[in-house]
Every structure is written in structure tokens, then in C-alpha cells.
């Protein structure tokens, strides 16, 4: 009996010492463990160099869950306050504002982010922040079209392009944002006239992704296509011979250079409303706009830095200089619903 009592007392002393030596630090009712959890549309192979650089600098471990953009947003909505995610990384202003409207982001006040990111590329209330840019432009087969034939997005309605255009579905948010920019610059009526005329000029029904449009031009299925710059840059630098070869047969054209400039959009991030590691989440987003991270971003994802003054990767410099549309990115999302309706009325499938 005495031996049992002494053993029990000894065990309590050991537990007490262990508890004292390794205290559990709580923050907002949750353990703070030097981690940050990300839901990311970006594949791990593309952003792991960034995350490793952040961990090396900060000592904060990064846990990553990758998935399709729309699926990740639905997952955040269904998980609610129980979601383990601290940060959502996604693409296109439309998706960022959908996340804000769905209540899965919280407002963040960061003087650093406000200083580093131009106002037109971040939410005025601090719910989301642009991290990199891409442009949605025109690609053409140089043996069947030339720069003399091309000028603006609006010119794609010209009868000379009848049966010569490849483009993906209207359900694609990149196309929706392009059309939203046209609504913002003119009107829904003008945008609908444009969409109807482009439909009439299509070489085939919309299908596949941006890479497929570029491949179709290379294969002679159409003469011009609309796609994002980073897909083209990735294909040119692809380890898959067939992708690199297809891209080499296609030339990029910057539209609207004598007017408003080429349409641009962003990849961005926000701190989730359920974030258990809020401070670490803010530190991560702040790191992603540092000169080092912006350089890595450009080299790994083939997107343009969001921050002014950061040298761009050689693969992007090779695409040439261009004038970009300075439309406030948030405007694209405000006209997203109108763009979808216009596409439907124009029978763009």
C-alpha cells in the first residue's frame, strides 16, 4: 500500500515537472505551435520553393493542401469555423471576391502589404491581396496570321476571323474576368455584341484549357486563340517535348497597346475567417510580397511580380514589354455576374 502510494505521488511529481518544463501556450483557445496551414490552388511543386524559403526565414512550418480552386472554396465554406486552413491561395479576382462574399476571409490590417501592393491589386478592406499577375492575351500561328492582322480584343469580331478562333468555355473564370473588364470599359450591350461575334468566328466549340487552345493553334485547328501568358511560358519551358514544340509554333500578341492595354488579372491570398494561426498567416502573405519571394514566384509560376521594381524572370522578359490595363481588379468581380449572363445570351458554351 505504501509503495503504491509513493509510486503514485512520484508519478504526479514527474507529470508536474514535465508540464512545467514544456508549457502549452494557448492563443484564442488554440495551441500555438509555429505552423501555418494553407489551402492552395497552386500545385505543391510550383510553390514549395516559396514555402521552404519562408520556413527558413521565419522558422514557421507550412502545411499545404492543394486542390482545385472552386473545390477548396466549397471546402472552406462547409468546414466553417472548424476549418484548419489559415490561408487560402487562389487565382483570379473573381474567386478572391467570391471567397470574401462567402465569409471565409477575415479583414487584415498590414501597413507592409498596403505599401508593397498597388491599391488596384488588393481589397480596400483588407480581405484579400494580389501576389502575382498574368495577362490574358492573343496567340497566333505566324504562318497563317501576322501582327499586322491583329490589334485589339474588339477586333476579334472582324469577319476576317470567321472560323479561325479557339477559346475555352464561358464557365471559365478567366474568360469571365476578361468579359467583365470589357463591360467595365464600355457596357454590357457592347460586351454582348463582342461575345456573339466571337462565337460566330470560332473554329470549334469551346473546349479544354488554355494549353489546349495554344496546342490547337499549333496543330492548325485554328489560327488564333485567347489564353493566359503563364500557360504559354510554361509550355515554352516544359520538359514535355510535345508541349515545348507546340508553343514554339505559336506567337504571343499584346492587344490594345494603343488604348487601355492588355487585360491583367491576379493570383492572390487571404487570411481565413477560421484561422487559428492568424499572425503566422499574415507573416506568410507579407513574405510573399518580399523581393525574394516575388522573384521566386516569377521563376516558378511564370507570373509577373505584383510589386513594382522587381526584375522579372528571363522567360517572362522574353515575351516582351507590354502596356497593361490599370482597371481596379475589384471591378472585375463586380461585373462577374453580368459577364456570365452576357455569355449565356451570346450562346457561348
Q: What is the pLDDT of residues 16-26, one digit of tens each?
A: 323 222 232 33
pLDDT category, 265, cuts 50, 70, 90? Answer: very high
pTM (2 decimals)?
Answer: 0.85
**Domain layout of the chain by residue ranges:** 24-133+265-317, 134-263+323-345
The DSSP annotation for 203-220 comes to SS---S-HHHHHHHHHTT
The predicted model gives 204-209 an average pLDDT of 97
The domains spanning 24-133+265-317 and 134-263+323-345 adopt the same CATH topology:
yes
pLDDT tens track for 43-60: 787 788 889 999 999 999
Q: How many CB atoms sit inside 10 A of residue 240's CB?
A: 9
* Cell numbers that stand for 127 in this block: 480581405
∠ Cα 38 68 329 (to 5°): 80
pLDDT category, 309, cuts 50, 70, 90? Answer: confident
CATH of domain 24-133+265-317: 3.40.190.10
What is the rounded distance in angstroms from the CA atom of residue 78 to the CA atom of residue 140? 43
Higher-pLDDT residue of 198, 27: 198
Q: Which residues pair with 272 in a beta bridge?
A: 105
The CATH number corresponding to 134-263+323-345 among 3.40.190.10, 3.40.50.300, 1.25.40.10, 3.30.70.260 equals 3.40.190.10
Amino acid at each position: 500500500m505504501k509503495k503504491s502510494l509513493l509510486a503514485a505521488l512520484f508519478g504526479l511529481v514527474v507529470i508536474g515537472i514535465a508540464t512545467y518544463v514544456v508549457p502549452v501556450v494557448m492563443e484564442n483557445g488554440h495551441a500555438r505551435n509555429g505552423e501555418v496551414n494553407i489551402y492552395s490552388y497552386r500545385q505543391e511543386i510550383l510553390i514549395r520553393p516559396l514555402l521552404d524559403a519562408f520556413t527558413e526565414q521565419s522558422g514557421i512550418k507550412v502545411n499545404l493542401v492543394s486542390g482545385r480552386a472552386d473545390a477548396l472554396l466549397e471546402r472552406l465554406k462547409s468546414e466553417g469555423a472548424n476549418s484548419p486552413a489559415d490561408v487560402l491561395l487562389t487565382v483570379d479576382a473573381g474567386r478572391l471576391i467570391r471567397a470574401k462574399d462567402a465569409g471565409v476571409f477575415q479583414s487584415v490590417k498590414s501597413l507592409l502589404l498596403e505599401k508593397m501592393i498597388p491599391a488596384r491589386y488588393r481589397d480596400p478592406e483588407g480581405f484579400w491581396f494580389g501576389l502575382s499577375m498574368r495577362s490574358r492575351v492573343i496567340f497566333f500561328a505566324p504562318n497563317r496570321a501576322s501582327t499586322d492582322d491583329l490589334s485589339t480584343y474588339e477586333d476579334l469580331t472582324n469577319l476576317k476571323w470567321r472560323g479561325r478562333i479557339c477559346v475555352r468555355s464561358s464557365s471559365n473564370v478567366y474568360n469571365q474576368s476578361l468579359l467583365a473588364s470589357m463591360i467595365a470599359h464600355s457596357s454590357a450591350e457592347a460586351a454582348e455584341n463582342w461575345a456573339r461575334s466571337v462565337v460566330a468566328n470560332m473554329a470549334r466549340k469551346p473546349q479544354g484549357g488554355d494549353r489546349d487552345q495554344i496546342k490547337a493553334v499549333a496543330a492548325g485547328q485554328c489560327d488564333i486563340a485567347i489564353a493566359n501568358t503563364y500557360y504559354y511560358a510554361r509550355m515554352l519551358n516544359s520538359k514535355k517535348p510535345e508541349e515545348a514544340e507546340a508553343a514554339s509554333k505559336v506567337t504571343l500578341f499584346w492587344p490594345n497597346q494603343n488604348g487601355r492595354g492588355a487585360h491583367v488579372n491576379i493570383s492572390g491570398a487571404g487570411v481565413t475567417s477560421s484561422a487559428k494561426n492568424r499572425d503566422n498567416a499574415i507573416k506568410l502573405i507579407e513574405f510573399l510580397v518580399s523581393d525574394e519571394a516575388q522573384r521566386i514566384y516569377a521563376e516558378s509560376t511564370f507570373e509577373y511580380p505584383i510589386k513594382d521594381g522587381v526584375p522579372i524572370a528571363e522567360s517572362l522578359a522574353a515575351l516582351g514589354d507590354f502596356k497593361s490595363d490599370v482597371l481596379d481588379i475589384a471591378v472585375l468581380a463586380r461585373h462577374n455576374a453580368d459577364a456570365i449572363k452576357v455569355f449565356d445570351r451570346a450562346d457561348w458554351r
